Chains A and B, each alone.
Chain A
Amino acid sequence: RKEVEQDPGPFNVPEGATVAFNCTYSNSASQSFFWYRQDCRKEPKLLMSVYSSGNEDGRFTAQLNRASQYISLLIRDSKLSDSATYLCVALLYGQNFVFGPGTRLSVLP
C-alpha cells in the first residue's frame, strides 16, 4: 500500500466549477502536510500547507482530518489556469517527504 494515496483522476471540469481532491496517508506519525501543484513538464511548486484547523487561500481550501488520516483540497470557481497535477505530500519526520502520485485536473472552457 502506498503511504500517500490520491484520487486517480483525471478530473475534467468546466470553468467556474468547484472541484475537490482527496488524499489519504497511512503513517499516523506524519507531522505536516502540503499540497503542491505541478504544471506539465515543470517542477512541483508549493500551493499551500495544510493545518488541522483548515486553511483557506483565496479560492483554495485545505482540510486535514488526523483521526481519519485524510486530507482534502477544494478549488472553487475553477479557472483555466488551474489545470495542472495536484500532489498531496506528507512529512513523516526530518526531511522524509512522501509524495502522492498526483491527481490531474483539466479545466475546460
Chain B
Amino acid sequence: NAGVTQTPKFQVLKTGQSMTLQCAQDMNHEYMSWYRQDPGMGLRLIHYSVGAGITDQGEVPNGYNVSRSTTEDFPLRLLSAAPSQTSVYFCASSYNGLPGYTFGSGTRLTVV
C-alpha cells in the first residue's frame, strides 16, 4: 500500500515552461486536493476533487489546471510557469474528509 505518491520530488523550470505534477493514490479515496506551501503562508488549497470527473477551484487556482479522469490520479498542470509559483506542492487524499487527509511527500518546484 503506497498511499499517496507524488512525482517528481524536485523540479526546476524556466519561466514560461509548462509541466505536470503527478499524484496517485491507491486507497480508493474519493477526495483529492492540491496544496502549495510557502514560508509564513501555510498550506493553501489550489484545486480539489470530490470524485472522478469532478473538480473545483480552491483559494489560489490561477495558473493551474487539474483533471480527474480516474479515482486514483489527480495531476496538476502548470500552464506557463512563473517565479511566483516557486513553492512546495503537496497532493492529499481522503476517504470522506474524516479523519483528515493523507499527504504525499511533496514536490519542490523552483521557477527561474
Q: Which residues of A contact B (CB under 8 A)?
A: 32, 34, 36, 42-46, 49, 87, 89, 91, 94-102
Contact = CB atoms under 8 A, between A and B. Distances in A.
Contact of B99 (A43, A49, A99, A101): A49
B22 to A, nearest CB: 15
B103 A44 contact: yes
Nearest to A8: B40
A4 to B, nearest CB: 8
Contact of A95 (B50, B90, B105): B50
Contacts of B98: 32, 49, 91
A42 B37 CA distance: 11
Contacts of B101: 44, 46, 97
Interface string B77-112: 000000000000010001001111111111000000
A44 to B, nearest CB: 5
Given A89-B100, A97-B101, 17 more contacts: A34-B99, A34-B100, A36-B100, A42-B105, A43-B103, A43-B105, A44-B43, A45-B103, A46-B100, A49-B99, A91-B97, A94-B50, A95-B31, A95-B48, A95-B50, A96-B45, A97-B100
